[in-house]
Amino acid sequence: MKELKEHKLLEAAAAVRENAYAPYSGFAVGAALLTDSGRVFVGCNVENGAFAPSLCAERAAVAAAVAAGEREFAAIAVIADGSDYCYPCGVCRQVLSEFCDDAFVIFAAKTVRDFKVYRLEELLPHGFSLREDGE
Ligand code: THU
């Protein structure tokens, strides 16, 4: 993936983070998902007073992409408050694995210029799948 695309994805995640609804945790998260077809879908966390229905930024981005007819993803950038690198939670890793192969790239960002790069297989080894391709 080219430097320019990484930067674009990180900027998109940082921008949508501004829309996060996180009055309970105070922890705003932004995610930008790149599809294999080259489109970018964004998501932010949307919390709820009942807590359990709260939605993570990554899953919001996945839902937006799937609703637009996209099912094959290449990469995601995730960014929070800059205090540390922001990694997708376990539930989000599992949700991403439904639509991604092991080559899927995760940019866990502290800032738009300071991020770590992982493959999904590093963050979710032996993830559960009912897909017939076994991935
Ligand atoms: N959060 C995300 O949006 N993505 C993650 O991968 C981890 C956690 C959100 C959920 C909640 O609104 C807040 O961060 C604190 O957990």
Residue 132 binned pLDDT confidence (cut-offs 50, 70, 90): confident
**Nearest atom (ligand 1) to Cα of 46:** 12
Of 3, 6, 47, 58, the catalytic one is 58
7 is in which domain, residue-wise?
A: 3-123
User: How many independent structural domains does the chain possess?
Assistant: 1
What CATH number is attached to the domain comprising 29? 3.40.140.10
* Ligand 1 centroid from CA 45, angstroms: 6
In a domain, 63, yes or no: yes
User: What's the one-letter identity of residue 24?
Assistant: Y
Residue 17 covered by a domain: yes
Based on the residue annotation, tell me whether 70 is a catalytic residue of this protein: no
Mean pLDDT of the chain: 94
Q: How far, in Å, is the centroid of ligand 1 from the Cα of 132?
A: 30
Instruction: Judge if pTM exceeds 0.85.
Output: yes
Residue 130 in domain: no
Residue 118: pLDDT over 80: yes
Assess if residue 71 is contained within a domain: yes
pLDDT in tens, 78-104: 999 999 999 999 999 999 999 999 889
pLDDT beyond 70 at 134:
no
In a domain, 49, yes or no: yes
